[in-house]
């Protein structure tokens, strides 16, 4: 889910509402949401902490996350991704 907003409290409210809708949809369609694997990340220049509830548990807030093989970080500068790829390439070249 993606929500663009500058007010952190507004982001929290919109995201919690979207999560509730997702949970309702998944239950209506006999699908399970894997709450322990669900993460929340705020992008941009902020250190704000938000609590989003999924099935009674607080989602883990992360500063970076590997998604489809790409490491995303809160600043979207891809420095972590570049470091990861360079490290993997060095290991591959040494073999």
**Residue ranges covered by each domain of the chain:** 8-94
d(CA 59, CA 94): 40
Cα 50 to Cα 34, 44, 70, 86, 92, distances in angstroms:
19, 14, 24, 33, 39
The CA radius of gyration of the chain, in Å to the nearest whole number, is: 17
Output the pLDDT for position 2: 63
Average pLDDT, whole number, for the chain? 87
Query: What's the pTM value of the predicted model, to 2 decimals?
Result: 0.71
User: Does 21 have pLDDT greater than 90?
Assistant: yes
């Amino acid at each position: 889910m993606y929500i663009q907003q500058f007010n952190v409290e507004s982001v929290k409210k919109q995201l919690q509402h979207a999560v509730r809708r997702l949970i309702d949809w998944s239950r209506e369609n006999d699908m399970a949401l894997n709450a322990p694997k669900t993460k929340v990340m705020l992008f941009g220049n902020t250190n704000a902490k938000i609590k989003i509830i999924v099935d009674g548990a607080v989602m883990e807030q992360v500063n970076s996350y590997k998604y489809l093989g790409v490491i995303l970080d809160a600043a979207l500068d891809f420095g972590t991704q570049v470091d990861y790829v360079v490290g993997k390439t060095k290991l591959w070249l040494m073999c």
